[in-house]
């Protein structure tokens, strides 16, 4: 009898063990921050799915520039506002990244983004005079954080859009890890954040979108990392003169950045920094972006130039599968030949 019970117990525990290795996948797609987001989470319960989505909605509600009720919209209207700890943390982070990129990323470029109509979908080329008049108010260094109060210089306004999704990816990943999740793929509108590896233990394969058409430039293998791309193709309009104007502006000129780079992808552990750098490297162009990378070497990048060259950092090239159809010349930066 005892042996029978033991045998039954053994079978039961084997069955349980078997069940544990079957991973439950939950996924949710919703519209937030002006884009479709999909959270795919393994072995999370429905309460966690709700909490993750609530984190997104909460962040959007706090920082959206177009939502009149957000903390950032309020700050932009009044020039001075008390911020919640969440918003303050993001603003602080964004300012540090503006400084690190020496203003290629500049959150105070917002009055110009607005003048070009990118946030209102009334895109048009502003008068030269308008741009000249708005430029003096651009300068992240003028933003003051005094305790939990943010103060903007006269005429200045900020937009955290170039870092918010990356930062959100970090926050979501932290929430999931805290709740025991070891595998998740968070697609925040092309801004990818991964947690751990795929449920089968292999790296995530993330396709990098090609600027033209529906294809991709290739696939990068990542784990516990973010993959963020900035490209002119995300939001643009064609002017009456046939010129394409996109939403990433050069804070130095107030015009869409024409650096020769048409798509910049950054891969790394820190999602907020990847997001910030993708935007900044797009503004800087291949030469200055490469110099920036050589100085830091703590992130990986992939830059597509308008001449059809795809520049890739050496470490990333080891885990990048090029798309042969994409028609670029792949060049590894500073490859050490042995």
Binding site for ligand AMP (CB under 6 A): 105-107, 109, 113, 118, 159, 161-162, 230, 234-235, 247-249, 251, 275, 278-279, 283
- The smaller minimum CB distance to Mg ion, of residues 188 and 278, is found at 278
User: Interface with Mg ion includes 170 (CB under 5 A)?
Assistant: no
Q: Is 68 exposed, middle or buried (0-12, 13-18, 19+ CB in 10 A)?
A: exposed
Using rule CB under 5 A, residue 162 touches Mg ion = yes
Residue 73 found at the interface with Mg ion (CB under 5 A)? no
If the CB atoms of residues 275 and 300 are measured against ligand AMP, the closer one turns out to be 275
Are the beta carbons of 91 and 145 closer than 8 angstroms?
A: yes
Residue with smaller CB distance to ligand AMP, 27 or 121? 121
Beta carbon nearer to Mg ion, 258 or 273: 273
Q: In the bound complex, which residue of the shown chain has the CB atom lying closest to Mg ion?
A: 279
CB of 162 to ligand AMP, least distance (A): 4
109 binds, among Mg ion, ligand AMP, none (CB under 5 to 8 A by kind): ligand AMP
Do 262 and 232 contact (CB within 8 A), yes or no? yes
Say which residue the tokens 């028609």 belong to: 327
Burial of 288 (0-12, 13-18, 19+ CB in 10 A): middle
Verify binding: residue 270, Mg ion, rule CB under 5 A.
Answer: no
d(CA 189, CA 35) in angstroms, rounded, equals 5
Q: Which of ligand AMP, Mg ion, none interacts with 81 (beta carbon under 5 to 8 A by kind)?
A: none
Question: Which of residues 111 and 161 has its CB atom nearest to Mg ion in the complex?
Answer: 161
CB 249 within 8 A of CB 257: yes
106 contacts which partner out of ligand AMP, Mg ion, none, CB within 5 to 8 A by kind? ligand AMP
Contacted by 76, from ligand AMP, Mg ion, none: CB < 5 to 8 Å by type: none
Placement of tokens 């999931």 in the chain: 176
Applying CB under 5 A, what is the total number of residues that bind Mg ion?
Answer: 4
- Is residue 286 at the binding interface for Mg ion, with CB under 5 A as the rule? no
Least distance (Å) between residue 276 CB and Mg ion: 6
Q: Is 279 in the site for Mg ion (CB under 5 A)?
A: yes
The dihedral formed by the CA atoms of 47, 23, 266 and 168, expressed in degrees to the nearest 10:
0
* The dihedral sign for the CA sequence 95, 97, 103, 106: negative
> What is the footprint of Mg ion within residues 12-51 (CB under 5 A)?
none
Q: Which contacts of 206-209 are long-range, i.e. CB under 8 A and separated by 24 or more positions?
A: 208/263, 208/265, 208/302, 209/263
Examine residue 261 and tell whether it contacts Mg ion (CB under 5 A): no
Phi, psi at 325, each rounded to 5°: -80, -15
Binding interface with Mg ion (CB under 5 A): 162, 275, 278-279
């Amino acid at each position: 009898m005892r042996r029978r019970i033991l045998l039954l117990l053994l079978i039961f525990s084997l069955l349980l063990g078997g069940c544990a290795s079957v991973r439950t996948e939950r996924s949710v797609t919703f519209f937030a921050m002006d884009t479709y987001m999909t959270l795919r989470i393994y072995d999370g319960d429905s309460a966690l799915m709700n909490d993750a989505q609530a984190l997104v909605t909460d962040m959007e509600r706090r920082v959206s520039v177009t939502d009149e009720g957000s903390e950032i919209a309020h700050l932009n209207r009044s020039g001075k506002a008390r911020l919640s700890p969440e918003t303050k943390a993001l603003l602080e982070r964004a300012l540090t990244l503006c400084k690190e990129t020496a203003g290629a990323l500049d959150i105070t470029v917002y009055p110009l983004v607005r003048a070009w109509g990118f946030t209102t979908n009334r895109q048009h080329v502003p008068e030269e005079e308008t741009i000249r008049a708005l430029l003096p108010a651009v300068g992240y260094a003028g933003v003051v954080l005094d305790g939990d109060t943010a103060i903007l210089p006269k005429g200045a306004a900020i937009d955290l859009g170039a870092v918010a999704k990356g930062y959100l990816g970090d926050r979501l990943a932290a929430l999931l890890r805290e709740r025991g999740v070891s595998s998740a793929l968070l697609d925040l509108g092309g801004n990818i954040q991964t947690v751990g590896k795929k449920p089968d233990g292999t790296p995530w394969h993330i396709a990098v979108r090609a600027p033209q058409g529906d294809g991709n430039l290739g696939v990068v293998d990542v784990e516990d990392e973010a993959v963020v791309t900035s490209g002119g193709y995300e939001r643009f309009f064609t002017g009456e003169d046939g010129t394409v104007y996109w939403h990433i502006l050069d804070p130095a000129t107030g015009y869409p950045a024409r650096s020769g780079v048409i798509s910049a992808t950054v891969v790394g552990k820190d999602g907020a920094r990847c997001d910030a750098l993708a935007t900044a490297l797009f503004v800087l162009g291949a030469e200055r972006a490469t110099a920036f990378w050589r100085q830091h070497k703590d992130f990986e990048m992939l830059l597509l130039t308008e001449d059809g060259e795809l520049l890739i950092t050496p470490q990333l090239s080891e885990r990048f599968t090029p798309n042969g159809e994409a028609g670029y010349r792949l060049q590894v930066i500073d490859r050490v030949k042995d």
